[in-house]
Amino acid sequence: MINQEAKELNDRIQPKIYSFLSEKGKEIYFPKQGILEQTKEAKGKEINATIGIAIEDNKEVMCLESIKKNILLKPNKIFPYAPSYGIKELREIWETQIKQKNPSLNAEQTKISLPIVTSGITHGLSIISYLFINPNEEVILTNLFWENYNLIIENGYNARLKPVNTFKENGFDLENLQKELQGEGKKIVLLNFPNNPTGYSLTNTEAEELIQVIKEAAEQKQILIICDDAYFGLFYEENVYQEPLFSKLANLHENVLAIKIDGATKEDYVWGLRLGFLTYGAKNIDSETLTALEEKTAGTIRGSLSSCCHLSQSLLLEAFRSSTYKEEKENKYLILKSRYQKVKETLKNEKYKQFFTPLPFNSGYFMCVKLNENLNGERVRKVLLENYNTGVVALGNLLRIAFSSVSEENIELLFDNIYNACKSLFVQKGIDKYTAPMEAHKFMK
């Protein structure tokens, strides 16, 4: 039986947005009549016996000196629980940054929620799945995707991934996605640009075409768009669409609910701090609905990990306040861009085509090479480990290469190692791929 607080919360949500919620999403709420509310009312009282933490006699938060001595921040910014929503000031700064990075949001006067803090992108995607995806529902996404989607969406929530082709020739394959949007009923689409594993972002033309396709489909049906913007900002070519698609989708059509999951994890190089943000937007959505979605999100967090790490949030907040923050971030970006450019330059060498060709890439941390049909990715990966002191990720007949973690001076050596590993597999068996392609194919598979 649905909780009364959940019923009251549901009544505050516009019917069109309410219909996007999963059955679990309809039942979840953020408790306002229990311990949390009573603790809030007791805040500032001389004697406060409501807080579930330990306090010293001098009213400082209790902590171990062996931990405290290694952190410069004050104990009250480290050890107490943070709110389930996240620290308010941090959320407000992230919202400001979103609007600064995405002029379209301001130009179209788009209403968005105040971002909720999540414990990284994975946690954010799990929250979205809880709130909006029912068992057996399909989630449309490109067929080259981050493997955690399987664990979160399929294993975690018993939904089904519906992959569509990623590339057509040297660009994004919009045609297959368009076909999937033509079916009956509500559609759920997961977009990840810059993409993991390929390092591809839509060009300006592709982005505008995709937005138009979604708008046309929304004339006939409801579409939930999940924008995984984990690598936002790491664009290395001028023709790449410089804003997340969320900036246009959040005010595209009343039948579109856009959800943006992003974070400091990659954007600010703080992977282990586990900090993400979840933001909602839809055309003509009202403030009451946005607040209610925030409450449901906070309720989901409250019912799983209670709240995200206070220390991580405080560290990020201090960084945002720093006068050197923007300069530091720009310097790191330039290092990654330089590595990207070195990869592009290195792959111009015609010899590599003998064994592999790069998939399109223009952004992010990664790129992929496609091995020729008579080579197996796992075999090549093992040879690289055993004989060339080199590690890459094998994805079928693709190798995913994180150039973000390779120094510029080693990039040419990396691709030479891949080339030589491929070549050695033929030499070992005395196989000439040009004169004995079938034999080579059997051996390598």
**What is the CATH classification number for the domain harbouring 389?**
3.90.1150.10
- State the pLDDT at residue 35: 77
Q: Are residue 317 and residue 332 in the same domain, yes or no?
A: no
- State the pLDDT at residue 40: 77
User: What single-letter amino acid sits at 210?
Assistant: L
- State the pLDDT at residue 436: 32
Q: Are residue 132 and residue 149 in the same domain, yes or no?
A: yes
Is the Cα torsion angle 249, 254, 255, 258 positive or negative in sign?
positive
- The enclosing domain of 241 has a CATH number of 3.40.640.10
Q: What DSSP string describes 139-204? A: EEEESS--THHIIIIIIHH--EEEEE--EETTEE-HHHHHHHTTSSS-EEEEEESS-TTT----BH
Counting the structural domains of the chain, the total is 2
Last residue of a domain, one of 321, 353, 384: 321
Last residue of a domain, one of 301, 321, 341: 321
- State the pLDDT at residue 18: 97
| Token pair 């959320």 in the structure block, residue | 91
- State the pLDDT at residue 434: 33
What predicted TM-score, i.e. pTM, was given to this entire model? 0.92
What six digits make up the tokens of 247?
């900036």
- State the pLDDT at residue 427: 67
Q: Are residue 173 and residue 300 in the same domain, yes or no?
A: yes
What six digits make up the tokens of 28?
């979840």
Q: Are residue 214 and residue 247 in the same domain, yes or no?
A: yes
Cα–Cα distances in Å, from 114 out to 90, 95, 205, 261? 10, 6, 30, 12
Tell which residue, 339, 397, 294, 376, has the closest CA to residue 32.
Answer: 294
**164 within domain boundaries:** yes
| Domain of 239, in residue numbers | 11-24+84-321
Q: Are residue 263 and residue 212 in the same domain, yes or no?
A: yes
- State the pLDDT at residue 430: 54
- State the pLDDT at residue 46: 84
Cα–Cα distances in Å, from 58 out to 31, 41, 48, 332? 31, 22, 13, 43
Residues ≥6 apart with Cβ < 8 Å to 27:
2, 3, 6
77 DSSP 8-state letter: G
3-class secondary structure per residue, 38-76: HHHHCCCCCCCCCCCCCECCCCCECCCHHHHCCCCCCHH
Q: Are residue 363 and residue 430 in the same domain, yes or no?
A: yes
Q: What DSSP string describes 313-380? A: HHHHHHHHH-TTHHHHHHHHHHHHHHHHHHHHHHTT-GGGGGTEEEPP--BSSEEEEEEPTT--HHHH
Displacement of CA 333 from its chain's centroid (Å): 18
Phi, psi dihedrals of residue 80, rounded to the nearest 5°: -70, 165
Distance CA 416, CA 395 (A): 20
Q: Name residues of the chain where pLDDT drops below 70.
A: 427-445
Number of H helices, E strands in the chain: 20, 13
Q: Are residue 281 and residue 416 in the same domain, yes or no?
A: no
User: What single-letter amino acid sits at 103?
Assistant: P
